[in-house]
Amino acid sequence: MSVAHSDSAGATPPATRGPSPQTSPAPARLSAEAGTRGAIRIDGLVKVYDPQGAAIKAVDGCSLDIDAGEIFMVVGPSGCGKTTLLNAIAGFHDITAGRITLDGEVLCSAERPKAAAGSDRVVVFQNGALFPWKTNLENVTFGPSVQRKLSKPDALAKARELMAEAGLAGVENNYPAEVSSGMRRRVEIVRALMNDPKVLLLDEPYRALDALTKSVMHEALLRIYYKNKVTIFFITHDLEEAIFLGHKVAIMTTRPCRPKSVVTVDIPHPRDHRVLTSRRFRELVQETRAAVHEEARKAFEAGEKEG
């Protein structure tokens, strides 16, 4: 992360440079309720894999409160069960006990253990899931086009606008494989935003990126966030990433996964890379480092025992 405050502007595409984006008003075509919706409440969530046999408790008694329109970061060592949490919210698999609600509506509970997957909670995947057989533009318009929510010209206009805002003008007709991995991530986030989701679920989206690209991507994500104010549920194992981006950071225990502590990051938004060298940022990293390290060590030792 030490590279993050070096002159990273050179790696930023021209379209994303320029004046601070936080001053520009949210575009009118985005849902007016943006920022007031997307509150997730997780109550006593339990997820047991293979209930008859080995009964591995991936998540146990996990409760979290995510406010509408906030960036909520979930930090834990690899394999601690945090992706299980995300999959439960997204509706990719069922839960064993507990309850998840979105804006007061029950997504899943003991009675209905699997939430229906839907475009109000769009996932950005760890390894990226842009369809390689569709151009970037076709990928971005996929959501509205399959749901027939927007007419084709409207979808194209919205897609072009959002892509331009994310510094993706000029690559609309390229295939995902033809652009950089950083761009692919942004295309995927734009594809999600096209559906006006209540929540963006990000599963370690920057894991495969190099440190320099990563810091540029963080600013790009914040810029997109300041315009859209969508709730972001972001999973990572990178503590500095979590503190830089998040309003709140939940540090998770390793297997079973539950919050060890939830830290409120009192650094005001909008933030940019200068935050990384600020004193408060360093203090917060120091305060939380020990907790994260302890869990990582436990995960490592558990892995040694199993292996």
Partner 1 sequence: MAIRSFLTGRVGTRATGAVPLVLRRAADWFKSPRPYLMFAGFGLLLGFWFLTVEVLKLPRFAEMPGLTVVVKEWLSRDPTYGLSIHTREYYTHIGTSVWRVAQAFTLATVLGVPLGLLLGWSKRFREYVFPLFEVLRPIPVLAWVPLAIVMFVRTESAVIFLAFLASFFATALNAMLGVESIDETYLRAAECLGANRAQVFRHVIVPGALPFIFTGLQISVGVSWFSLVAAEMVSGQYGLGYVINTSYSTVRYPTIIIGMITLGVVGYVTSAAVRVVGNSLMSWRVRELALRGPS
CA distances from 101 to 42, 108, 196 (A): 7, 7, 18
**Residue 117 CA neighbour count, 13 Å, CB half:** 11
**174 to 203, contacts with partner 1 by CB under 8 A?**
175, 177-178, 191-192, 195
Q: How far apart are CA 81 and CA 64, in angstroms?
A: 14
Which among 98, 124, 128, 131 is positioned nearest to 235, based on CA atoms?
124
Choice between 54 and 133, CB closer to partner 1: 133
> According to the binding rule CB under 8 A, does residue 143 interact with partner 1?
yes
> According to the binding rule CB under 8 A, does residue 234 interact with partner 1?
no
> According to the binding rule CB under 8 A, does residue 146 interact with partner 1?
yes
Adjacent-strand bridge partners of 280: none
> According to the binding rule CB under 8 A, does residue 92 interact with partner 1?
yes
Question: Which residues neighbour 74 within 8 Å (Cβ) at sequence distance 6 or greater?
Answer: 82, 85, 233, 234, 235, 236, 242, 249, 250, 252
> According to the binding rule CB under 8 A, does residue 127 interact with partner 1?
yes
Choice between 195 and 213, CB closer to partner 1: 195
Span interacting with partner 1, options 27-35, 57-65, 136-144, 269-277, rule CB under 8 A: 136-144
> According to the binding rule CB under 8 A, does residue 136 interact with partner 1?
no
Which among 176, 175, 215, 170 is positioned nearest to 7, based on CA atoms?
215
> According to the binding rule CB under 8 A, does residue 132 interact with partner 1?
yes
For residues 270 and 20, the answer to whether their CB atoms sit within 8 Å is: yes
> According to the binding rule CB under 8 A, does residue 206 interact with partner 1?
no
Q: Least separation, in Å, of the C-beta of 175 and partner 1?
A: 5
Q: Which residues bind partner 1 (CB under 8 A)?
A: 90-92, 117-119, 121-123, 125, 127, 129, 131-135, 138, 142-143, 146-147, 173, 175, 177-178, 191-192, 195
